[in-house]
Amino acid sequence: MKQDRPPDTVRSYLAALQRAMKAQGCKPGLISDALADCEEHLNNEIAMNPGRSEADVLASVVETYGTPEEIAEEYKSMEAAITGPFPKSETPPERRYGFFNVIRDPRAYGALMYMLLSLITGIFYFVVVVTGVSLSIGLFILIIGIPFALLFIGMVRVLAHIEGRVVEGLLGVRMPRRLPPATAPDETIFARIKDALVDIRTWSSMFYLALMLPLGVAYFTIAVTGVALSAGLTLGSLWSLITGRSDVHISDVPWLEHLFHTAPGLVLLAVVGVLLFFIVLHIARGVGWLHGRIAELLLVRL
């Protein structure tokens, strides 16, 4: 079998590492962290050996640091040994998809908490993006326009990283745990602007942060309405059973109003409220899964 040519540049080494980790089924967030670590390490090695060519440095690094395939194995092993917010046992129990089993799923509660917080974060992100883009365009003709644009892009990356940590903590989706490596110190300001503008993650991160406003409104509305309606039906019915007084009024359907003024009707209403809470948890878990895929697609930089 023909051996692949060993990488002789940092770019080719990182590309080989990315292919190896994808072949092993690693999560995009883990791949992003591995690429950032390796890029920083390789650039430091090259900087420490100014008299040697990039290919010579890469050859020695492969001998000491390891081939891309070996590094991919190491990262996969380290990731399996780390317990995150949703730890996995060595022998995971058989998955059950019953309607009531959602009450034991921590991801459902994490997603519900995320839905409740998303309105606040969505408004904040949207204001930052709209203000930053507007000022960057308006100040571009002035001398402070370019530094401000770079500052804004850096802020977007920091906010995207923070959002990724929130997503991982509440939704259980593996996201990058470190920021991408900074640009080289000798790179000109125009080269930095070009790198930022051609980086697709700059624009996808802005799009994600702006998208969080409509998503946050939808998530918050669903969560608050579902929880409030469930709690109101359950607690209101129990209170009516205890006090013997029902405040349910449905003038358009007299027989239904009469039913909810009786003990069996109030018990039925309390059961409906409890079942509604389980439905809300199922919806939250589904929203958490869907939003995790969106965050992984738009925020993970590969």
Cα→Cα distances 59→38, 42, 70, Å:
14, 11, 15
CA–CA gap between residue 241 and residue 265 (Å, rounded): 10
CA–CA gap between residue 71 and residue 61 (Å, rounded): 12
pLDDT score, position 123:
96
pLDDT score, position 12:
86
pLDDT band at 267 (very low <50, low <70, confident <90, very high): confident
Q: What is the mean pLDDT of residues 241-252?
A: 69
Show the CA angle centred on residue 300, arms to residues 149 and 18, nearest 5°: 120
pLDDT score, position 64:
79
pLDDT band at 286 (very low <50, low <70, confident <90, very high): very high
pLDDT score, position 3:
45
Radius of gyration for the alpha carbons in the chain, expressed in angstroms and rounded? 26
pLDDT score, position 206:
93
pLDDT score, position 108:
93
pLDDT band at 167 (very low <50, low <70, confident <90, very high): very high
110: Cα separation from own chain's centroid: 12
More confident residue, 57 or 93: 57
Would you say residue 153 has pLDDT above 80? yes
CA–CA gap between residue 225 and residue 221 (Å, rounded): 6
Domain range annotation of the chain: 10-81, 101-302
More confident residue, 239 or 254: 239
CA–CA gap between residue 208 and residue 205 (Å, rounded): 5
Cα→Cα distances 265→2, 212, 228, 239, Å:
76, 41, 20, 13
Q: What is the mean pLDDT of residues 186-197?
A: 66
Q: What is the mean pLDDT of residues 91-108?
A: 73
Q: What is the mean pLDDT of residues 57-72?
A: 82
Predicted model pTM = 0.80
pLDDT band at 91 (very low <50, low <70, confident <90, very high): very low
Residue 118: how many other CB atoms lie within 10 Å: 24
Q: What is the mean pLDDT of residues 61-90?
A: 73
Would you say residue 266 has pLDDT above 80? no
Would you say residue 93 has pLDDT above 50? no
Q: What is the mean pLDDT of residues 189-208?
A: 79
Would you say residue 242 has pLDDT above 70? yes
pLDDT score, position 97:
60
φ, ψ of residue 264 to 5 degrees: the values are: -60, -40
Q: What is the mean pLDDT of residues 207-218?
A: 96
Give residue-wise pLDDT tens across range 107-144: 999 999 999 999 999 999 999 999 999 998 888 788 78
